[in-house]
Chain A
Amino acid sequence: MSKSKSRAETAARIRHLLDTEGDAVAENTRGFNRGRYESVRELDDYESLKSAARAIKEDAIERIPELIDELRESVEANGGHLYVAADPAEANAYVREVVDGGNVVKSKSMTTEELDLNDALEADGAAVTETDLGEWVLQLADETPSHIVGPAVHKSREGIADLFAETFGLDDDDRPETAEELTRFAREKLLADIREAEVGVTGANFLAADSGTLALVTSEGNARKTAVVPDTHVAVAGVEKVIPTVEDLAPFVELIGRSGTGQDITSYVSLLTPPVSSPPVDFGEADSPVAERGAAGGDGATDPHPDREFHLVLVDNGRLDLREDDDLRETLYCIRCGACSNSCGNFQSVGGHAFGGETYSGGIATGWEAGVEGLDTAAEFNDLCTGCSRCVPACPVEIDIPWINTVVRDRINRGDAADGEGSGSVGFLVDGLTPDEEPAGLDPAKRLFGNFETLAKLGSATAPLSNLVANARPVRGAMDRWLGITRERDLPAFERETLVDWFDARGGPRVSEGLARREAVVYPDVYTNHVAVDRGRAAVRTLEALGVRVTVPESTAVGSGRAPLSQGMVETARRKAERCRDALLPEVDAGRDVVVIEPSDLAAFEREYERLLPADDAERVADGCFEVLEYVYGLLENGADPGGLTTAEDAGGRARVAYHPHCQGKTLDLEPYTVAVLERLGYEVDTSETECCGMAGSFGYKSEYYELSMDVGEPLSEQFGDAERVLASGTSCREQLDALLGSPAEHPIEAIAPGE
């Protein structure tokens, strides 16, 4: 299939999901995400709980084989059975033997979705009923989960009402309509199945090796009934769910609900040490007392009920290989809370049916699907992670989810090369423009975006002709067709005079060494140097007005590696990072602060360089760099006189500003500095509530993702539609706001800089 055809199909599929499921997904996930912010704010020790949870998982994954042995001893000492299945076939065969064609009720388990366990059991004639209300809806509708925690978040209440009416042939008069009625209806229907069940199948959120206890985090109560009503309980869980001790559960219990749906705790956290002491509830003998007559509360609490049978099936299915993979191992720390889905702009718009694989969805799904299914499955949706990094602070076990996506993208790039796919007919043109160390068959669009630095140099050297040519209709048509760059977007316009040239032409530094409060280099990132030169000039003027001796050395006009990184071109990014380090560290060593305007470049220095450079180098670069408004804030806090800056009063009637912090800037916690500086200068700041503008560097330029990108930006249109003056920290946010609002946004530094 040609690239342009597959792009058109991807675009059509995304458009269909935006139309059919987008609204319900957006409402649910944004609600969960708001809930998370509110709920974690109540925790005094949120960050230390996350670190504790992370440390437990690191240790547990390191010791999986040993912990499985300990868990086996615990389970068997309690009277249960433990089976380790290498793959779905082994797991399903074991469960089929236990179930033996009987009636099964299930509580929600993503791992059994991974195994396609229901199909395997039904093939034997077993009646299998999902009792989680969301899962049941999907079972009736014959659909797959669109979210790890809320499997039916893509369904509207009306859609569920229609589904019930149709499935059960209900008349208009007695069909349930409200959420309450639908719930009552489902409860009654499902109770009938629970009464008839011979086996209950659950998952497990955590398994404590020292006791054989499994934790089930739920709210509906169906998992309790599933585990307790039938006499046989089968729990199915990935091998990564084992943690050393019962006590290790504490941080997870506090974090999982908050991170996922914004509940400080779910209604039920079942800590079952099966076979449990509770008597089965045998509706076949509905009139015989459930327990021995005269039994009192607490009786036999630590003894397994004699009629009970328990089987724990631990599933490997690629997990132990994932554990050996230095870049993807973190995936196994995942506690499946859904925070990465809810905090993701793309996921909020389109949900897990687009941003997901065979089983798992959202940012972390790339790791799961790569590990469990393989790279091909991960490749189908990996593009939807734009690296915005908003999932990073949301993840309760501190997984660097964007890095997992970058690494998988890199492997996909290389895998493509191996089978000769992806070499478009304009590949040779882009090759000539962008010599790099990436595989020859790399998608030309990725190569183009990944090597934006080379393009920008050429663009400035030949501007304005380059801009005219690039925007000419036949050229845009060819770019769309061959490179997948949408015609809907304006291309960045290159400036003939770069920031470095401007600074040199102006005569170099203006603050003398003797009078300087500090010395700083304004880092001429690729965009600031070639495209958004105004904000670079504003930064120089602002810092000079605050008494800083500024330089903009030609030697530092090198890309950070952010562009190739976003395309999964890790080796190219590493080479650029090394070059950038070589350019910046001499400045740092000479006592100059490095001031960075583009948040995505600062994020590369502070987050990704530790993956690309020796640890010591990465730390020195990160320590030497400051975001420009963070730096201004520091200067003002240390007594610099803001008298030369443009205050709200100077700006006349333009004191009210709408401000969109960059996604990666938010992750680095930079937003408060910008807001504080603006407020200090008298501005009233209305800060955006959205996680990411949706542009995300090259993402919004790609024809198959243009509509999704605009949909992600929709909340910004709603919030800032009437704003008179809009500020944005990132270049791509500026492009997106321009497209959404029809008027250009400025960088905050341009608002406060002294006039030229």
Chain B
Amino acid sequence: MSADMLSAFVDSAERHHATVHRVAPEEVTATIARLVEAPAVGVALPWGLDLPEAVATDPTPADLDAAETGVTAARLAIADYGSVVLESDAAGSEAVSLFPERHVAVVRAGDVVPGMREAIERLGDRLRDGASAVLATGPSATADMGDLVIGAHGPRAVEIVLVEEAEEMDGHDSGPDSEEDSRE
């Protein structure tokens, strides 16, 4: 990942009505705390990152229904489109990213890929292994009610927390594969 690619990701995401927050690992928890609106539900983050206390894990259907915010990790991000790739899991990340009005997605800068082809290539073996994922770009939307409306069945606000290691923040290219699959 290069500094240009990260900027491209930020631009693309914002063009699709998402907001990107570029932070160091130690700022992640506080950043999420600032972005959530209560009540908030979430799925425990991988990569040694912590959710703030305001985010409740192990949500029930009633919690999902009532939540204003859902926080999940994203496996990949796509610079050309500003998309985050949300993988399904047994912890319910799909529902947590979908029901609340606001989705906070946490993705590592090292997991940003340039384009769709690279993203699908990365997903190929995972899907063949049985995984499922959604390429999510901005909030849900509809044009079926006579005009474009942001926020349909899914979230109407998407906040992306882009986690950059110190050397990445200096623009140093650490290579996209350096930390791959540390989540498994």
Which residues of A pack against B, CB within 8 Å?
A: 28, 78, 131-134, 137, 150, 152, 155-158, 160, 178-180, 182-183, 186-187, 190-191, 195, 208, 210-211, 213, 219-222, 224-225, 228-229, 245-247, 249-250, 253-254, 261, 264-274, 276-279, 281-283, 285-305
Contacts and interface: CB of A to CB of B under 8 A. Distances in A.
Contacts of B99: 281
A211 to B, nearest CB: 4
B132 A278 contact: yes
Contacts of B171: none
For chain B, what secondary structure do more than half of its interface residues adopt (helix, strand, loop), or is it mixed? loop
Contact of B127 (A179, A253, A271): A271
Q: Across the A-B interface, give the 10 residue pairs with the lowest CB-CB distance, nearest first.
A: A157-B146, A221-B154, A300-B90, A295-B91, A179-B147, A134-B144, A220-B152, A221-B153, A296-B44, A221-B140
A283 B66 CA distance: 13
Interface in B54-84: 57-62, 64-65, 72-73, 81, 83
A199 B81 CA distance: 33
Interface string B131-145: 111111111111111
B95 to A, nearest CB: 5
B90 A219 contact: no
A296 B43 contact: yes
23 contacts: A131-B153, A179-B145, A182-B145, A191-B153, A210-B128, A254-B116, A265-B135, A267-B137, A268-B140, A270-B133, A276-B88, A277-B132, A278-B90, A287-B62, A290-B95, A292-B91, A298-B46, A298-B87, A298-B91, A299-B89, A301-B90, A302-B129, A305-B90
Given A210-B128, A273-B127, A290-B95, A295 B43 contact: yes
A289 B130 CA distance: 24
* Residue of B90, B135, B144, B147 with highest tally of chain A CB at under 10 A: B144
Contact of B90 (A155, A180, A183, A299): A299
B184 interface: yes
B183 interface: yes
Given A179-B147, A186-B145, A250-B116, A297 B89 contact: yes
Contacts of A304: 130
Interface string B10-46: 0000001000000000000000000000000001111
Interface in B85-126: 87-95, 98-99, 116-117, 120-121, 123-124, 126
Nearest to B146: A157
A224 B61 contact: no
Interface of B: 16, 43-46, 57-62, 64-65, 72-73, 81, 83, 87-95, 98-99, 116-117, 120-121, 123-124, 126-149, 151-155, 183-184
Given A133-B152, A295-B90, A296-B91, A179 B146 contact: yes
A137 B99 CA distance: 22
A132 B144 contact: yes
Nearest to A301: B89
* Residue of A245, A264, A268, A288 with highest tally of chain B CB at under 10 A: A268
Contacts of A293: 58
Contact of A150 (B93, B130, B143, B147): B143
B70 to A, nearest CB: 12
A246 B125 CA distance: 9
Contact of A213 (B59, B92, B132, B141): B132
B127 A208 contact: yes
Contact of B60 (A211, A270, A277, A288): A288
Given A290-B64, A297-B73, A224 B94 contact: yes
A345 B65 CA distance: 45
A152 B144 contact: yes
Contacts of B83: 265
Contacts of B57: 294
Contacts of A301: 87-90, 126, 131
Contacts of B137: 265-268
Contacts of A282: 61
B145 A157 contact: yes
Contact of A295 (B92, B123, B146): B92
Contacts of B95: 228-229, 278-279, 281, 290
B43 A133 contact: no
Contact of B121 (A247, A270, A281): A247
